[in-house]
Structure 1
Amino acid sequence: MSEGVPTLYEWAGGSEAFERLTRTFYDRVAADPIVGPVFKTMSPDHPAHVAAFIAEVFGGPKTYSQQHGGHREMISHHLERHLTEDQRRRWISLLVDTADKVGLPDDPEFRSAFMAYIEWGTRLAKINSTLGKDAKLTDEPMPVWGWGVPGGPYKPAGD
């Protein structure tokens, strides 16, 4: 925590919150006719890896970078997937519905930051999905997402 302002990771509830989100989300994805086929060969560890990635992006431990290869590795998983705009939008829709279902914070500031990252990340994934397996990937730094506005998280009136 810097200067008393929690990270998005802390505000969301830490690793447990992101693990709950991705477990529930990928159960829904597997049954979805639009995005399910993209994940038909998903490993059982996939939800935990994505949880570690999102947690790190939002200011949590650097688990994904240290154990799974960082941003470059995440990009490599999207190569040659040829994702469609309908799949991208459905992925977002399912994730937002799941965030509500599992109780991620729903204050405007958190959700704005969360959605900004999801929008940015899914557009990047779609772009990268058109690249071939032989694409020369650079060592892009891990994205670090914050509140996006000075002043930090939402505080209800009276707090």
Structure 2
Amino acid sequence: MENDLNKIPSLYEWAGGMPVFEKLTDLFYKKVLSDELLEPVFRHMSREHQLHVAHFIAEVFGGPEMYSTSEGSHFKMIQKHLSKHLTEQHRQRWVSLLLETANEIDLPADPEFRSAFVAYIEWGTRIAVINSNVDDLAMNPGEPMPKWGWGVPGGPYLG
């Protein structure tokens, strides 16, 4: 039996669980709606949008399967970006505001967590830009949710 002290927590657990992801997206989307570049893209989002994004990211980072079991799927999330015509400038502003918000809510700042967090945000936003500039998606509707882990470092620095 594995010793619990040696169990490496998921990114979701290390971040602090669902309340942290919900707080992150709530504060982040308030910034988005007051940003002159991003507001036109997001002004018509539903009231539940930031909650869905929190649940999506949390699930990707090893949290409960709330998004994929009751709110959508990876395929449906990708479809939401089709024909939105996002630019690299939109992507960079989105990332910048999200990282600013992560700092404000004291998301863990250790290099291993932040490396994994930023890697996913970079990957996901680049995929979103690509998919936003097409009108149709050649993707398996049953494509599983991405699963993100600690990456090369292998876990949090516990030194």
- TM-score norm. by structure 2 comes to 0.93
Partner residue in 1 for 2:74 = 71
State the identity %: 59
Report deviation, 1:149. 2.3
SS at match of 1:47: helix
For residues 7-86 of structure 1, the aligned pairs below 5 Å read 7-86=10-89
1:147 aligns with 2:156: no
1:135 aligns with 2:137: yes
Of the three residues 3, 6, 9, the one matched with 1:6 is: 9
Aligned amino acid, residue 91 of structure 2? R
SS at match of 1:90: helix
Partner residue in 2 for 1:126 = 129
Mapped partners of 1:78, 1:105: distance in 2: 29
Deviates more, 1:89-98 or 1:34-43: 34-43
Q: Could you list the runs of 5+ residues in structure 1 that have no partner in the other structure?
A: none
Report deviation, 1:135. 3.4
CA RMSD of aligned residues (A): 1.6
How many pairs align?
155
- TM-score norm. by structure 1 comes to 0.93
Describe the superposition over 1:67-106 as per-residue Cα deviations: whole angstroms up to 9, x where unpaired: 1221001001100100010000000000000000011000
Mapped partners of 1:68, 1:120: distance in 2: 22
Contact 2:27 2:101 in 1 (8 A): yes
**Following superposition, which runs of at least 4 residues in structure 1 exceed 6 angstroms of deviation?**
none
Q: Could you list the runs of 5+ residues in structure 2 that have no partner in the other structure?
A: none
Mapped partners of 1:31, 1:23: distance in 2: 13
Report deviation, 1:150. 4.8
Report deviation, 1:151. 3.6
Contact 2:112 2:153 in 1 (8 A): no
Aligned amino acid, residue 138 of structure 1? N
Mapped partners of 1:60, 1:37: distance in 2: 31
1:146–1:62 Cα change, 3 Å: same
